[in-house]
Structures are given as structure tokens and as C-alpha cells.
Amino acid sequence: MSVALSLPRSALVTFVAKTLALSAVIALAAHVQVPFWPVPMTLQTMAAMGIAGLFGAELGVAAMLAYLLEGVAGLPVFASGIGPAVLVGPTAGYLVGMIAAAALVGMARSHLTRALALLAGTAAIYALGVAWLSTFVGFEKAVTVGAVPFLFGDAAKAALIWALCALRRR
């Protein structure tokens, strides 16, 4: 975020306003869900990577960090739970993974690199999410309940993000 801190005052205000607005989009997407246990299926990953793909890594990562800070502060933004306990609960790894995914997707500059970044971002979410979830339920069960049910939906979300970003870049 050193980019934001070196901006002129009006640009910094604009950056912060965009960050907060985009964090609200992530919060809304977190509440569009199919209730699975222990990890709900939401549109949150699509929002995090889509924002980064459309607006760049800086805004994508800043929006995810703002979203997490809002949740830690007690705002009802998380898909499952309220407050800082969520960041040590079963879904914490997925939330951290979304920061990495936003950075990867936001840095992509071409259609090909964006497709690869969406795959890498999704893999980062799964890797960090399943690794953390496995401390609660064991590795095999973490893969079974925290990755496998989401593969098709996440592939569809990545394809939609890729298409939206391709349309915007025209």
C-alpha cells in the first residue's frame, strides 16, 4: 500500500473511498451463499478476484484487507461469524488466500496471464484454506469438505471473471 501513501491527497481520498466501496462488494458477496459445513460456498472469492482483475492488484488487495479489518472490528461482513474469532476459525485460511489471489489476479496484464492468474489465485485460496482447515478436521476431510465440493463452482466463477475482464479491456 506504499502506492496509496505516496499519492496526492485527493488521489488518496479517492483510493480509500474505492477501497471501502469494493470491500462492501466483497461483504455482500460473502452473504450470497449455499450453506455447506465447515466452509460455506459464497460469491466472495469471485468478488475478491473479480475486483482485482477489473481494478488492479492495489485496489484488490486493499479491498480484501479493508474487508478483513471491518470483520475484525465486529461488522457483520463475514460469511460465517462475527469478529476476530473468524480469523482463527476454520475458514481463516481461505480468507488469507483471497488476499494472495487478489494480488495474483490484479497483476495480470493479458488474457493469457489473467487466465493463469485466476488458476493460481484459486489454487492459493485452496492451498491456504485446506491447510488451515486441516488443523481442525484433518487433511483428508479438509480436502473432501473444503475443496472438492467447490471445484466446479470455482471454475465457473473464474471463467466468468476472465470473460468480464476481457470485455472491460476492449
Q: Any idea where the domains of the chain sit in the sequence? A: 2-168
Q: What is the pTM of this model?
A: 0.89
- Give 10's contacts (C-beta < 8 A, 6+ positions apart): none
**pLDDT, tens digit (0-9, with 9 covering 90-100), for 4-26:** 556 678 899 999 999 999 999 99
Cα–Cα distance measured from residue 140 to residue 32, given in angstroms and rounded to the nearest whole number:
27
Given the candidates 3.30.200.20, 3.30.70.380, 1.20.1250.20, 1.10.1760.20, the CATH classification of the domain at 2-168 is 1.10.1760.20
**Cell 461482513 found at:** 77
**pLDDT, tens digit (0-9, with 9 covering 90-100), for 117-129:** 999 999 999 999 9
